[in-house]
Amino acid sequence: DVKVTQSSRYLVKRTGEKVFLECVQDMDHENMFWYRQDPGLGLRLIYFSYDVKMKEKGDIPEGYSVSREKKERFSLILESASTNQTSMYLCASSLPSGTVHEQYFGPGTRLTVT
Amino acid sequence: GDSVTQMEGPVTLSEEAFLTINCTYTATGYPSLFWYVQYPGEGLQLLLKATKADDKGSNKGFEATYRKETTSFHLEKGSVQVSDSAVYFCALSDPTSGTYKYIFGTGTRLKVLA
């Protein structure tokens, strides 16, 4: 069975802290994605990665960075957390583009920055 | 750029009512279209998809037809159940565009009353 797991379901951090969100997939997918989900705004792409050590900025990369050292793991890093980064963070993976492939999502991490 | 527009929610229906959630898109290429569902406290999961014009995707009693002439992919179900209460996202991805992006609508919350 396909699985995308995220390291935490709920996380509370203080302003200015460095925050790591981890995502692991067991499907040998090349593509991995980080989104944030906010009411009324839907899903917005932060970063995606199409191969190990490869990454591209999405629509809202400011204040975030990512790391992909192994194919199955994609980390999102908040360098200095701020209250406007309080959100639900969703990780997803998919097979490479070129044909039609749906995304598989993790359960999400609800991050609160105080 | 490509975009997806969904009807505003929330949509509140009685059990066994007919459901339609509207979705229209703009795309320069030949996108594939998806409906994802998000149950409370969970990540998104694929509900159905269609890869070319006039294709009909169906799953769990839901269906949607890819209409190129009206650039639409409306979600329908003949008789909703309480267990269908969730947030529904329309999305597109163009595998021929050379990008890895998926474009999501803002989501439509459905509440079904017993």
Min Cα separation B8/chain A (Å): 9
Cβ distance of B93 and A100 shorter than 8 Å: yes
Contacts with B49 from chain A: Cβ below 8 Å: 100, 102
Contact A90, B44 (CB under 8 A): yes
A 34-73: CB under 8 A from B? 40-43, 45, 48, 50, 56, 58
DSSP A42-73: EEEEEEEEEETTEEEE-S--TTEEEEEEETTE
Q: Tokens 């960075």 sit at which residue?
A: A65
Give the whole-angstrom CA distance, residue B30 versus residue B23. Answer: 16
pLDDT > 90 in chain B, percent? 75
Work out the burial of residue B114: count CB atoms within 10 Å of its CB; fewer than 13 is exposed, 13-18 middle, 19 or more buried. Answer: exposed
Give the whole-angstrom CA distance, residue B40 versus residue B110. Answer: 11
pLDDT score, position A97: 64
Min Cα separation B23/chain A (Å): 14
Distances (CA, A) of B78 to A67, A79, B19, B20: 45, 48, 6, 9
For chain A, the first-to-last Cα distance in angstroms comes to 37
pLDDT score, position A43: 92
Q: Consecutive 10-residue runs of chain A (114 residues): their mean pLDDT?
A: 88 97 93 92 92 92 96 96 97 79 91 97
- What's at B96, amino acid-wise? T
Nearest by CB to B49, which of A31, A58, A100?
Answer: A100
B 6-65: CB under 8 A from A? 32, 34, 36, 41-46, 49, 51
Nearest by CB to B43, which of A50, A94, A107?
Answer: A107
For A42, which residue in chain B has the nearest alpha carbon? B106
Give the whole-angstrom CA distance, residue B106 versus residue A44. Answer: 9
B7-20 b/e (C-beta count within 10 Å ≥ 16 → b): beeebebeeeeebe
B 67-106: CB under 8 A from A? 89, 93, 95, 97-102, 104-106
**pLDDT tens per residue across all 114 residues of chain B:** 889 999 888 999 999 999 999 999 998 888 999 999 999 888 999 999 999 999 999 999 999 999 999 999 999 999 999 999 999 999 998 866 666 678 999 999 999 999
Give the whole-angstrom CA distance, residue A13 versus residue A71. Answer: 28
Give the whole-angstrom CA distance, residue A106 versus residue B43. Answer: 5
B58-88 tens-digit pLDDT: 999 999 999 999 999 999 999 999 999 999 9
